[in-house]
């Protein structure tokens, strides 16, 4: 069965600093990979997704993620964080069978 | 505003009550989903509907009963719930059930079972 690990429960960065959120997955074939953001009191919003092709994926709000098959990773990055980026971030995997598995999430705090 | 609305936003119910959660999407999508988001647990997919037919039921207890009367509306009927069912229930929709399609989420219903 597939699994998703987000090793960092909570990350704090200063506004303007760069950000990297880690995601590792376990699945036999190439999965479909997603990053979502959830602001307090809101549902999830898709930031970006990877299916195939270029392993560096651009998303909304200035985010990008890189798929590294050798490391089974799909880390999310942003070069300069804004205070409005404070939220919870979820990595997710979809398999051929259409099963969705989400990570536990990483809470991002942005310091002024 | 994602085009997916959920009502009520908050609900408190006793274990013997019967209540329903409602989801409506204004996006013309053909697939709709119910998710459960519990504290300290990953998001769990509960049910999937495609063209008003249930296509997935991920071992959800029978005290949760979904209904999809048309492609724009999705309900989750609740009866004899347990305190551990307290969670945020999220509805989502997508153009089709294809996993490549982006899912659009509603804001959720925060449920507390006493």
Task: Determine the distance in angstroms separating the CA of A41 from the nearest CA of chain B, rounded to an integer.
Answer: 7
Give residues with Cβ within 8 angstroms of A79, minimum separation 6. A18, A62
Number of C-alpha atoms within 13 angstroms, CB side, residue A102? 23
Torsion sign across C-alpha atoms A50, B60, B12, B34: positive
Interchain contact, A43 vs B103, CB within 8 Å: no
Best to test chain B binding among A44, A53, A97 (most B CBs inside 10 Å): A44
Write out chain A residues lying below 8 Å of B103, CB-based. Answer: 44, 46
> Which has the higher per-residue pLDDT, A51 or A20?
A20
Whether the per-residue pLDDT at A96 is higher than 80: the answer is no
**How does residue A97 score in pLDDT terms, banded at 50, 70 and 90?**
low
Write down the pLDDT at residue B98: 86
Nearest to B107 among A43, A51, A98 (CB): A43
The conformation of residue B16, written as its DSSP 8-state character, comes to T
Write down the pLDDT at residue A98: 61
Whether the per-residue pLDDT at B57 is higher than 80: the answer is no
Interface of chain A toward chain B, CB-CB under 8 angstroms? 4, 32, 41-46, 49, 51, 90, 92, 94, 98-105
Model pLDDT for residues B74-98, shown as the tens digit of each residue? 999 999 999 999 999 999 999 998 8
Model pLDDT for residues B7-55, shown as the tens digit of each residue? 999 999 998 889 999 999 999 999 999 999 998 788 999 999 998 888 8
Whether the per-residue pLDDT at A41 is higher than 90: the answer is no
Answer whether B97 touches A (CB < 8 Å): yes
Average pLDDT, chain A: 93
Taking residue B105's Cβ as centre, other Cβ atoms within 10 Å add up to 22
Write down the pLDDT at residue A40: 87
Best to test chain A binding among B6, B48, B99, B109 (most A CBs inside 10 Å): B99
Interchain contact, B42 vs A45, CB within 8 Å: no
Give residues with Cβ within 8 angstroms of A72, minimum separation 6. A24, A25, A26, A27
Q: What is the mean pLDDT of residues A60-78?
A: 96
């Amino acid at each position: 069965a597939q699994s998703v690990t987000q090793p960092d429960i909570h990350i704090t960065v200063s506004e303007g600093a760069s950000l990297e959120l880690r995601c590792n997955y376990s699945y036999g074939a190439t999965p479909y990979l997603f990053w979502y953001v959830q602001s307090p009191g809101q549902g999830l919003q898709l930031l970006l997704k990877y299916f195939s092709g270029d392993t560096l994926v651009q998303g909304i709000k200035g985010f990008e993620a890189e798929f590294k098959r050798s490391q089974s990773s799909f880390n999310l990055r942003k070069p300069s964080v804004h205070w409005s980026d404070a939220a919870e971030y979820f990595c997710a995997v979809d398999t051929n069978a259409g099963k969705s598995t989400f990570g536990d999430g990483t809470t991002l705090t942005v310091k002024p | 505003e994602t085009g997916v609305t959920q009502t009520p936003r908050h609900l408190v119910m006793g274990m013997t009550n019967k209540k329903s959660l409602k989801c409506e999407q204004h996006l013309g999508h053909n697939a709709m989903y119910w998710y459960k988001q519990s504290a300290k647990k990953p998001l769990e997919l509960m049910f999937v509907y495609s063209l008003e037919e249930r296509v997935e039921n991920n071992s959800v207890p029978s005290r949760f009963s979904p209904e999809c009367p048309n492609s724009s509306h999705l309900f989750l009927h609740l009866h004899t719930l347990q305190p551990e069912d307290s969670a945020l229930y999220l509805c989502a929709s997508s153009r089709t059930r294809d996993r490549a399609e982006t899912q659009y989420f509603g804001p959720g219903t925060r449920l507390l079972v006493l």
